[in-house]
Structure 1
Amino acid sequence: MKLRFSVSVIVCSVLVLWVALFLCVFLDTPVPDEFPENFKFKLMDGLMRLHGFMMSGMTSLGLIEYFSPADRKIADWFILTMTTGFPWGSGVDSRLQITDTKLRDVRVKIYQPANSLGKKKRPVLVYFHGGGWSLLSADCYDPIMRKISRESDVVVISVDYRLSPQHPFPVPLNDCFDVVEYVLDNSDTLGVDSSRVAIGGDSAGGNMAAAISLRLQKRIALQLVLVPVLQIINWQTTGYMENVLYLNKSINSPNSLVFLTNYLNLSPAYAHQFLINNHTSPEFKKSKYFDSVDQKKWMPKKYVRTKDLWENIEYKKDFGNQELFKKVEGYLKEPLISPLIADDETLSGLPFTYIMTCGYDFIRDDGIMFHEKLKYLNVKTELAHYPEGFHNALMFPHGPLKMDIGVKIIADIVRILKNKL
């Protein structure tokens, strides 16, 4: 009896210590003054930092490797637990028929509203998940895809594209393109309308949605470009400089540029070079490509919280790592990696474009500049900017960390699908 009591005391003591450690170490993130749900914001950030700490420890001990199948599975379980309360996600949903299959050898999950089964000419959204081209999966995004399909009555096809660094550019993009092309060419078989095909994605998925639209143009009825990374030329943006103060050890971490080096098949040692704009040569910094991401031209100051920051934008152009620049020059000039640098003629052919950006996202400015450029070219576009939002806010419209900002973002996406598709 005494032994049992002693074991219980030890276990409880360890749990108390872990909770105390979590509260002291992982809940110290700064919270924006205007953010209404600051405890959930802190808890989300703290949990993400705890996950990173645990994975770093397991990697140091040789128990796991970064970007391995095990690493990715744990990341999926972690996100699903935060967004649903359970690592295995959601169960059966009588309102949807969910099919796990392959289209052109690419794994997809297809969500069909039960009330539209057997019907033809249905609207469809092909969606590309986020995760920096390196993490997460269609399984991780299952709860969000279910919600969007149910509430919009749109067929959703979620693409489980191959990931870098094992499969760098253009493999993930080609996987996504192959699925979209299959849907367009086989709409009758799928029971969808080829004139009502939308594509969309968030973060890296938003990047690929914009890139695919450059190729398919008006064959797509609508594109949803959500918290996207749309250029890799200038990382010293107002969005980065303002928002690196927040979530800088989780979703806004400067270390996340490793995802970009993964995608470009480069050593992660180069990530910091991108961050300080040392990956571009002095000549390139004076070229039309750098002009295409000029914040004085394309970033309205009303979206920048720190007005002095916008007014004093000045880029030094007399430096650069020539050796690295030679390695990445082709990537820097590729619109399929940086849709923001596409020429005016190509951008003018884009379909209706819905862009979602968040005020506390360090890649905030890419989506805003894309909107401004499309508007300048008379492309039909809508910008949904959430000043109090953060990069992964759309993941929290439900579950134990349900936030009002997540509810609003998903509701607006559903509205666009209903009204424009």
Structure 2
Amino acid sequence: MRKYDESEIKKLQEETSIVENNGLKVIVKPSPKEDRPGYIDPVELSFIEAANQNNENGSNPENMPSMEELLTIIRDSMGFPNYNLNTVEIHTKYEELTGSGNKVGLWRYYPRKSQGNKKRSALVFFHGGGWIGGSVYTVENFCKLIAELADAVVFNVDYSLAPEKPYPNGLNDNYYAVKHIYDNAEAYGIDSDKISVGGDSAGGNYAAAVCLKSRDLGDTKLAMQVLIYPAVAIGDAKAPGYEWDEKLFDISEEQSQIIRNQCLVLGKPSKAEEDFMSGSYVTKAEDIYTPYVSPIVAKSFEGLPKAIIAGAEFDGLRLQGEFYGKLLSDAGVDTTCYRYKGMTHAFIDKLGHVPQAEDLCIEIAEAMKSL
């Protein structure tokens, strides 16, 4: 079920442009219903305004929540009800892994028609949620659509969350899941040379970190990393040459308040302990300067798998995502970077509501088929 015309997908596929960011070529996807520069996609804007209205109606500043209550509020606010766009039967399997020391749920999806193919490509996906929340269910439809479009097996990892399980729990959970899949590729009917990892936001952080760890340990081989508006720099960690500057965003005067105060809040350098999410994940301040927490600070990016990096125009994380793409490209990594005009953070959660989420599924699937 789609809430938009399929012609908008065609526009996203065919009417792209190229811009350069510090020497990195970025493929810019148009906003199908908004041609003016500096404006939020109208569908995205309608969701933001609706959320603002709900917050105004339900706010009570006199009752400040406790930290436990705040965690519940944040977790409950994450995600967005989206749609299943599959046109073929998708098999869903579930198992639990314990090799990391935690009980980790592992979902997998694949088209029934392809189960006889024992050499399928695979994508291991890590959901977003600021390391403290999010859900495999929010990204389930996104994963299932990629499985259909790529005729592949897509895994969806239910890793441990902070603050109950801080770093390195989540990373270990995700890395062990990837190693388990790699070691058991034949049983899963996949080609061990065609295993990709991916994730959105904090999940993109995990995907980048898993690729670094895979290269460093040499016990797995990954074909591709799919980083969707990734958080590759936590707190004030940064690489030489990287700067966060609001002037790098094209902001219309009419929507400046919404864009500045609501869309660009992520990614601004700060002390990790000052941010509830990253401060819950990283309990030792010095850890934010390690590459498995902030991949942008890695000493070398050579030998990493090819990359797809997708960002939203009005997302404070876009700058670090594109800069990370430059670091990868400069190190000889085959890197494709997309920027979705008019979009804001977490747009893949709105699959079926906005065509950009479906378009990204198409791009990922095509890249998987070319491995």
TM-score by length of 2: 0.74
Task: Count residues in correspondence.
Answer: 313
Aligned ranges for residues 183-332 of structure 1 at < 5 Å?
183-217=181-215, 219-232=221-234, 233=236, 237-238=244-245, 242=249, 245-247=257-259, 250=262, 252-253=264-265, 257-265=275-283, 328=285, 330-332=286-288
Q: Is the contact between residue 75 and residue 135 of structure 1 (CA under 8 Å) also seen in structure 2? A: no
Question: What is the deviation of 1:152?
Answer: 1.4
Q: Which residue of 1 aligns with 2:23?
A: none
Task: For residue 311 of structure 2, give the secondary structure of its aligned residue in structure 1.
Answer: strand
Q: How far did 1:240 drift?
A: 8.4
- Structure 2 distance, partners of 1:54, 1:204, is 30
**1:127 is matched with which residue?**
125
Kindly state the Cα deviation for residue 170 of structure 1 after the two structures are TM-superposed.
1.0
Give the counterpart letter for 2:71 in structure 1.
F
One-letter amino acid of the structure 2 residue matched with residue 258 of structure 1: F
Tell me: CA distance 1:349–1:38, structure 2 relative to 1, closer, same or farther (3 Å).
closer
TM-aligned CA distance change 1:353 to 1:204, over 3 Å: same
1:372 aligned residue (317, 326, 337):
326
SS in 1 for 2:210: helix
Partner of 2:368: 417
- SS in structure 1 at match of 2:304: coil
Counterpart of 1:66? 70
Q: 1:40 aligns to what?
A: 43
Counting only pairs closer than 5 Å after superposition, residues 340-359 of structure 1 correspond to structure 2 as 340-344=296-300, 347-359=301-313
Segment drifting more, 150-159 vs 405-414: 405-414
**What is the CA-CA distance between 1:229 and the residue it aligns to?**
1.0
User: Which letter maps to 2:367?
Assistant: I
1:201, distance to aligned residue in structure 2 (A) = 0.5
Whichever residue aligns with residue 90 of structure 2, its letter is L
Q: Aligned partners of 1:245, 1:199: CA distance in 2, in Å?
A: 36
More strand by share: 2
Q: Which moved more, 1:91-100 or 1:161-170?
A: 91-100
| CA distance in 2 between partners of 1:411 and 1:92 (Å) | 12
Determine what percentage of the aligned residue pairs are the same residue: 25
For the residues of structure 2 that align with 1:51 and 1:332, how far apart are their CA atoms?
Answer: 35
Q: Judge conservation of contact 1:353–1:381 (CA < 8 Å) in 2.
A: yes
Q: Give the structure 1 partner of residue 93 of structure 2.
A: 99
Q: Which residue does 1:403 correspond to in 2?
A: 354
Alpha-carbon separation, structure 1, partners of 2:37 and 2:85: 36
CA contact (8 A) 2:282 2:288 kept: no
Q: Secondary structure at the match of 1:79?
A: coil
Quick check: 1:209–1:225 contact (8 Å CA) kept in 2? Answer: yes
Give the direction of change, closer, same or farther, for the CA distance of 1:262–1:57 in structure 2 (3 Å limit): farther
Q: 1:100 to 1:343 in 2, by over 3 A?
A: same
Distance 1:254 1:382, change over 3 A: closer
Secondary structure at 1:45 match in 2: helix
In the superposition, relative to structure 1, how do residues 91 and 385 fare at CA in structure 2: closer, same or farther (>3 Å)?
A: closer
Change (3 A) 1:230 1:56: farther
> Offset of 1:93 from its aligned partner?
7.8
Selected match of 1:140 from 138, 141, 148: 138
Q: What is the alpha-carbon root mean square deviation over aligned residues? A: 3.2
In structure 2, stretches of 5+ residues that fail to align are 1-33, 269-274
Aligned twin of 1:165 = 163
Report how far residue 62 of structure 1 moved. 6.8
* Equivalent in the alignment of 2:107: 109
Distance 1:67 1:144, change over 3 A: same
Match of 2:344 in 1: 390
1:335 matched to 2:291? The reply is: yes
Change (3 A) 1:160 1:248: farther
Question: Aligned in 2, Cα 1:255/1:352: closer, same or farther, shift over 3 Å?
Answer: closer
Higher relative helix content: 1
Residue 386 of structure 1: how far off its partner (Å): 2.5
Q: Quick one: distance in 2 between partners of 1:95 and 1:35? A: 41
The aligned residue for residue 31 of structure 2 is none
Worse-matched range after superposition: 251-260 or 406-415: 251-260
Alpha-carbon displacement from aligned partner over 1:147-201 (angstroms, at most 9, x marks no partner): 1111111100001111112111111111111100100111122121111110000
Contact 1:251 1:392 in 2 (8 A): no
Q: CA deviation at 1:50?
A: 5.0
C-alpha displacement at 1:207, in angstroms? 0.6
How far apart, CA to CA, are the structure 2 residues paired with 1:59 and 1:418? Answer: 54
Whole-Å Cα distance in 2 between the matches of residues 92 and 46 of structure 1? 29
Secondary structure in 2 matching 1:66: helix
- Counterpart of 1:67 in structure 2: which amino acid? L
| Bigger radius of gyration | 1
Distance across 2 between alignment mates of 1:155 and 1:45: 34
